[in-house]
Structure 1
Amino acid sequence: MHLEWRLWSFTEGFRGKIAFSTILGLISSAFGVARLAMLGWMIGLLFKGEPVTELIWLIVLIALVMILRGMFEHWRAMTAHKTAALVQKKLRRKLFDRIGELGPAYVGSQRSGAITLSLVEGVEQLETYFGQYIPQLLVSFLTPILIFCFVFWIDLPVAATLVSFALLALFLPAMWHSRDVESSKERQIAYAAFASEFLDSIQGLATLKSFGQSSKRADSLEVKARDLFQKTMWVLGTNVLSRGITDCAITIGAAAALILGAYRVAEGKMELAGLLIILMMGVEIFRPMRDLRSVLHQGMVGMSAAQGIYKILDAKPIVGEVQTPPPARELPPTVEFQGVQFQYPNTTRAIHKNLDFKVDVGERVGFVGPSGCGKSSLVKLLLRFFDPESGIVRIGGVDIRELSFDQIRSQIAVVSQDTFLFHGTIGENILMGRPDATDTEVREAARTANIDNFINQLPDKYDTIIGEKGIKLSGGQRQRVAIARAVLRNSPILVLDEALSAVDAENEAIIQEALDKLMKERTTLILAIDYPV
């Protein structure tokens, strides 16, 4: 039974609540001890011939203690689960902020399924760890010691026997801990591989069907599922063995205490009532171990799930935020690349070599070339998703490495070939350009983008849900929503990254008209395969 210290560090700010939950657990255990001790005492009195009618008060007291124990146990459980939810909420925010710091460069280098697994299910699997495993681990460690302090006054040898086996039940499984953790990590890796492959298959189902590859993909998933099954069974096997050790320690401890206590009663060194009290309390001294055993597997799963979380938290950003950005001021909307040399990380092909150009205020400059020639990398460098290996990128005459990310990106609006729309309403997606915009400004932006008439024909108009990635809209309609978003942003620099490459001829004219409106009085970079400049 171990505590993962790095996971424990995530509880900062909530450790008082965890301590309170542990105290409630100890109080619940104390009431359990009291109930069983009084029950043993009552049985002893009955053996001595005490009339039941004279013990009504004791029966009522036992019932009251049982009710109080149930109340404190419920309070403990609610407090523990609420604390776990607060820790998870804090961790989710920390992870999402970290993903934001790492930026698109990191996300693009990882499988989306693995990241999603860590952010969603990985954090969710920690609920049992924070809400049950940690509090129960503390209770399981402290309860035998507290009971020993009480039983010590009745009979020291029997008390020592009970506590010794209770601690053995707690610490003996630790010899399997490293194997448990290692096998749980291996299972988590297999699970992440299967989940990522499965997510890819769902997202690309139409492609798999159209190329007749769904059966082959299913075979590949079956191999990963079989590997996951084998790893899962190994984890369960080691967990069952660990639980068996705990059960053996509990059973042998109870039997040893009973034999020793019976011998001491026979020798006249101990009262029968004392033996009955101790044996009754023996049930409570081992109960926390049994409760801990029941959540041990979930605790191990939480520890293994944390590996994906650590991977995200430990990743280094490809570009770092400037520590002391200059005071906010209006920059001239000029773009300059001077001697820029760039290649993507972990690749050998140079994308740009000594690239020099300047776009002055209000100019429209086209960059024309085949796919893969480095047009889109200009956008990534301008938005500072990456830094060049050498050379300088300037906005308004200022090296963008001296500006904060917000200062850089507030100057730029991008309309790209791969427009991403979020699941939500059309209005919400347009508001991405400027969240504090009014409804009037949103509609004006939509009119400029030539999509207002279409929106008004929908049953819910601007409140229409467009589905994941805007699946309920056509390609041309998605582009016009993206243009409306750029209009609303009202940035002085506009980048059109093959904005017309994925639309048909009919939509192209409508979108071109919207783009002409958008480009007015803006510094514009047009990236295209064959755009007429």
Structure 2
Amino acid sequence: VEPYAALVLGPALLLALLGPRWWDRLLARRGKEHWDSYEALAADYLEALQGMPTLRATGAVGRVRERLERRSAALHRTTVAKLRVSLVDTGLTDLAVQGGTAAAVLVACSSAATGRTAATGTYLLLLLASECFRPVRDLSREWHAGYLGVSAADGITGLRTAEAAVPDRGTVAADWASAPEIRFEDVRFTHPGSGRPALDGVSFTAAAGRTTAVVGPSGAGKSTLLSLLLRQRDPDRGSLTVAGTATAAYTLASLRRGIAVVSQDTYLFHATIAENLRIARPAATDEQLRAAARTAGIDQEIARLPDGYATLVGERGATLSGGQRQRLALARALLADAPVLILDEATSAVDERGQARIVRELAAAGRGRTCVVVAHRLDAVRHADHIVVLDAGRVAATGDHTTLLAGGGVYASLVAAGRTAQEERAA
């Protein structure tokens, strides 16, 4: 229609497309700073809301408020810094778009005045001059919106490319027909960054179908022992076998499916009691739910709730007490009917009378399972078939309750400390 208009619009179009690319690196850096500040503020707000009762009880509300204000100010600074770069980027694009359009209008007017183009050609030229920049404006808008995703991409990439704590290269399925034997042989493990091994030459056997208790003072390595059994980590040295096969030879999914765990830190989902229990066994019948709950000592309390097993427990089981949450987790593990049952301080939030009843029920329910029990309250482990005493990452002694108590040492001191604590509570 008008070749001179193309000569004007071409450079303007190139400037609108390529000019803002000069600022891409700076915009990406400012975008990451903005995202990091936003993420830090969001995390602090969530933590403060969840821990508000603790903050009030410790008088720390003011200090946390000051920290949140500093985080908010940091977010404001990074947001403004990002907007400065973004506005320069947008201004350059708009300058090219508006300047190119204005130049094309001048060319169209000149062509109409000199008679090179007819009225219809002039109108068409004005229409095309504006229209050719529309995709550029759309692209610019999407480009800026995309930087929200680019800022978060590093974290997503980190998750997708992160190395697993343990490699899942096993090929054996942990489909144990009966309760397996668990054996630790000269196991040594040091946590990353620690100068002292958490476990140093640990050797013992948890007999198949029996209950083995692991006791010891805080920091003795009990939790580390369980994390190795669940293959959250692999030992630095030595071997750990289940049913005569190294844990690394099993597929992770099948190994963990064969081990039911009740930990001190219980997590319940925002769902009904029945749905929380059936996470372990979706096809479980109502009678099986009640049987597991009776063994865990919570069936009667559930029955007294307004909706029974259909009662919503709230986020993280907020509507239940700590003891109720722990007993529900215990029922969930029993319902899974796994060949191996691990109880890690599973009754720490239960009163002593309730604990004694649960221990008796577990002794009956545990028949046919290999049970590994970790507990600070020694009343919960005194009836175990075998007791392993850990101290400073080593096996200090093994035996039953009577033998270990007669032998003195770490176990006898733990029993004495427990009795003193009971007497103080009674007084």
TM-score after normalising by structure 1: 0.68
Matched with 2:9 is: 162
Which AA in structure 2 matches 1:455?
I
Alpha carbons 2:181, 2:207 under 8 Å: kept? yes
Matched with 1:361 is: 208
Summarize deviations over 1:473-504 as a string: whole Å, max 9, x none.
Answer: 11221122112111111112221111222222
Are residues 1:459 and 2:306 paired? yes
Matched with 1:522 is: 369
What is the deviation of 1:329?
Answer: 5.3
Indicate how the Cα distance of structure 1 residues 323 and 384 shifts in structure 2: closer, same or farther if over 3 A, else same: closer
Where does structure 1 lack aligned partners over 5 or more consecutive residues?
A: 1-153
Summarize deviations over 1:386-427 as a string: whole Å, max 9, x none.
Answer: 101111111101101000112212221122222221111111
Matched with 1:492 is: 339
Which AA in structure 2 matches 1:380?
S
In the alignment of these two chains, the number of paired residues is 380
Matched with 1:349 is: 196
Are residues 1:324 and 2:134 paired? no
Matched with 1:472 is: 319
Matched with 2:72 is: 225
What is the deviation of 1:326?
Answer: 5.3
Summarize deviations over 1:449-488 as a string: whole Å, max 9, x none.
Answer: 2222221221211111101111111122112211211111
Alpha carbons 2:179, 2:370 under 8 Å: kept? no
Matched with 2:19 is: 172
Q: Name the SS for the 1:223 alignment partner.
A: helix
Matched with 2:295 is: 448
What is the deviation of 1:347?
Answer: 2.4
Q: Name the SS for the 1:437 alignment partner.
A: coil
Indicate how the Cα distance of structure 1 residues 412 and 329 shifts in structure 2: closer, same or farther if over 3 A, else same: closer
Indicate how the Cα distance of structure 1 residues 323 and 165 shifts in structure 2: closer, same or farther if over 3 A, else same: farther
Alpha carbons 1:342, 1:353 under 8 Å: kept? yes
What is the deviation of 1:433?
Answer: 1.8
Matched with 2:401 is: none
- 1:361-440 → structure 2 map (5 Å cutoff): 361-440=208-287
Summarize deviations over 1:248-292 as a string: whole Å, max 9, x none.
Answer: 101110111112222233333222321211102222222222333
Q: Name the SS for the 2:238 alignment partner.
A: strand
Alpha carbons 1:194, 1:224 under 8 Å: kept? yes
Which AA in structure 2 matches 1:166?
L
Where does structure 2 lack aligned partners over 5 or more consecutive residues?
A: 383-427
Matched with 1:239 is: 86
- 1:30-41 → structure 2 map (5 Å cutoff): none
RMSD over aligned Cα, in angstroms? Answer: 1.8
What is the deviation of 1:519?
Answer: 2.2
Summarize deviations over 1:76-123 as a string: whole Å, max 9, x none.
Answer: xxxxxxxxxxxxxxxxxxxxxxxxxxxxxxxxxxxxxxxxxxxxxxxx
Alpha carbons 2:342, 2:372 under 8 Å: kept? yes
Alpha carbons 1:476, 1:511 under 8 Å: kept? no
Are residues 1:293 and 2:140 paired? yes
Matched with 1:16 is: none
Task: Measure the CA separation in 1 of the matches of 2:176 and 2:328.
Answer: 29
Comparing both structures, which one devotes a greater share of its residues to helix? 1
Which AA in structure 2 matches 1:449?
A
Task: Measure the CA separation in 1 of the matches of 2:151 and 2:78.
Answer: 13
Task: Measure the CA separation in 1 of the matches of 2:85 and 2:242.
Answer: 59
Summarize deviations over 1:143-176 as a string: whole Å, max 9, x none.
Answer: xxxxxxxxxxx12221342243223212211111
What is the deviation of 1:372?
Answer: 1.9
Q: Name the SS for the 2:209 alignment partner.
A: coil
Are residues 1:196 and 2:23 paired? no
What is the deviation of 1:339?
Answer: 1.0
Task: Measure the CA separation in 1 of the matches of 2:306 and 2:13.
Answer: 67
Q: Name the SS for the 2:378 alignment partner.
A: coil
Single out whichever of 504-513 and 316-325 deviates more from structure 2.
504-513
Task: Measure the CA separation in 2 of the matches of 1:499 and 1:328.
Answer: 25
Which AA in structure 2 matches 1:390?
R
Are residues 1:269 and 2:110 paired? no
- 1:96-135 → structure 2 map (5 Å cutoff): none
Matched with 2:398 is: none
Alpha carbons 1:427, 1:463 under 8 Å: kept? yes
Alpha carbons 2:293, 2:328 under 8 Å: kept? yes
Indicate how the Cα distance of structure 1 residues 527 and 334 shifts in structure 2: closer, same or farther if over 3 A, else same: same
Matched with 1:334 is: 181
Task: Measure the CA separation in 1 of the matches of 2:188 and 2:178.
Answer: 25
Summarize deviations over 1:363-401 as a string: whole Å, max 9, x none.
Answer: 222211122211111111111011011111111011010
Summarize deviations over 1:421-445 as a string: whole Å, max 9, x none.
Answer: 1111111111122122223322222
TM-score after normalising by structure 2: 0.84
What is the deviation of 1:332?
Answer: 4.7
